[in-house]
Structure 1
Amino acid sequence: MNYYKDNVSTNVVTSNCNYVVTVKDWPAFLNEYNNFSNTTLAAYNAAYLQLGGGGNVAPGVSFLLKFGAFLNLYKADPSSDEYMPLKLNQNNA
C-alpha cells in the first residue's frame, strides 16, 4: 500500500496548460477528504470560490490556497512535458 501512496498522481489537461497533482501529506489529505465528505458539494464549492476571491484569482493560486498544505501542484505548457512546481509567494497569495 505504501508504494501506491508514495507514487500516486493525477493529471489534469486543459487547453491552456497541464497539471500534475501529488499528495505530500496523507493524514492532512484524508482529513480534508473527510471534510469534503461531510459537506454538501455546493457548500464546499462556495467555500473554495470564496477562498479564491470569487473566481478572481488564477486557478492554480486558488488550488494552492485550499490544498497546498498537503498536495503538490506541477504545471507544464500544453506543448511541453517539463512540469514545474507551483508555489505560493507574496505576489500571488
Structure 2
Amino acid sequence: MICPKCNAMIPDGSTACPECGTQFETHIGSFAGSVHWEDEVKPPKSERARKRSILIGCAVLALVLLFDHLCRTGTLMEIIWFFRRLLRS
C-alpha cells in the first residue's frame, strides 16, 4: 500500500504510516479479491471536521424550518412587502 499523505510504502495491515505517522482506518473493499489500496486505507476524519459538519447541518435545517414557518404564516410576504416599500421611498 502507499500512504496518501507522503507516498511512502506501507506494509499491509498497518494502521499508521511508518514515515509520516498518519493514522488510518482499514476498510474492506466492495469486490472480493480485487481490493485496491484506496479501498483499504482511509485517513480518519478529524473530530473538529465532524463537529463542523454537524453544526452546518443543524444551521441549514434551522434556516429551512424558519423559511417554512414564514411561508405558512404569511410573514414572508409581509417582510417582502416592507422592503419593497422601503426601497421605493
Same fold (TM over 0.5): no
When you count strand as a share of all residues, which structure comes out higher?
Answer: 1
TM superposition score category, shorter chain reference: under 0.3
TM-score (norm 2): 0.23
When you count helix as a share of all residues, which structure comes out higher?
Answer: 2
TM-score (norm 1): 0.23
